[in-house]
Amino acid sequence: MDVSVVIPVLNRKALMRHTLECIRRSNIWPVRILAVDNGSTDGTLEMLESYAASCPQLTVLQEPERNAAAARNLGLSHVSSEWVYFFDSDDEFTELPCHWDTSSDLIAIPVTQKVNGHASVRRYKPVNDPAVHITNSMLNTPSMIFRTSWLKEIGGWNSSCSIWDDWELGARALMASPRMQWIEGKSFHLIKVHDDSITGPSFKSRYRKQLDTLKIVSDEAAQCPSPAGDRCIKALLLRTFILSGKLLDEGDRKAAQECHRFISETFPGKPDGYRLGRFLEWFTSMGARGAWQIALRSIR
């Protein structure tokens, strides 16, 4: 398979050798790996350069801007293979599907998420609907295999997103109506969620960055023709109310109030979904689970 793997790296000296060895044991070896150091200060860059001296498949690049999307874009600019795959340096690489529809622009694959030692497969709705993705987060960094030329055509990763950049890319990609294949069943990758992971341990520690990304996607949805654009706006409204409910559940009322200010500025008046959003905020604030499923039913 003609695929390259791009990995942004920041202070992962203790993990990167294991990550590289996982790839070498996988079904895609030998494959070109582009490791993009994002300003490490713990010796990661030196370790990668030393490893590359005996591994010609590894190319080490440096992106001085500390931004995962910028690092991924630098790696993407050096990809010459037909397909490109991204994942994070603190995840566990296992394998990629042996076969996929080569006429597609985007291949979606299931991944497993491990939180506090508990692993579960992230389920997704296999539909080419950006509103469903906005609600359900079907696509994340290691669940997407891109045709390289198509990803470059839609602009690659958005470096304005300091968090949820894969969620933004998934929404923008689906808005572009890709030729797409959804692979279901077996998981192909393990995401590890911990205090120092990109995913993060809580909402209140990162909600401002999340609101910034929500604004970026709302601007993109506003350019999407109706009725798809209207459905995306409704999904974004509901997602923001759910975020507010999560913050209330974590005890941060001030952050929840910021969400309300964001809602009034981004979704003026009381647009379609407002009343449901208030209910989902309350529902989530009580610690209840499944708000996104209720939101999804209203979207679909």
Give residue-wise pLDDT tens across range 219-254: 999 999 888 999 999 999 999 999 999 999 999 999
Residue 195 clears pLDDT 70, i.e. is over it: no
Which uninterrupted H or E stretch holds 219?
helix 207-222
pLDDT confidence of 194, banded at 50, 70, 90?
low
Specify the pTM. Answer: 0.92
**Which residue has better confidence, 265 or 200?**
265
- Mean pLDDT over 43-65 rounds to 96
Half-sphere exposure at residue 109, Cβ-oriented, CA atoms within 13 angstroms: 25
pLDDT confidence of 113, banded at 50, 70, 90?
confident
Q: Which of 61, 56, 83, 82 is nearest to 73 (CA)?
A: 61
Mean of pLDDT over the chain: 92
CB atoms within 10 A of CB 14: 11
pLDDT confidence of 144, banded at 50, 70, 90?
very high
pLDDT at site 198: 45
Name residue, tokens 């202070």: 11
What are the strands, taking DSSP E only, across 43-134? 58-62, 83-86, 92-93, 106-108, 112-115, 118-121
Strand partners, 192: 114
Residue 72 clears pLDDT 90, i.e. is over it: yes
- Helices marked H in 13-83 — which ranges? 13-24, 44-52, 68-77
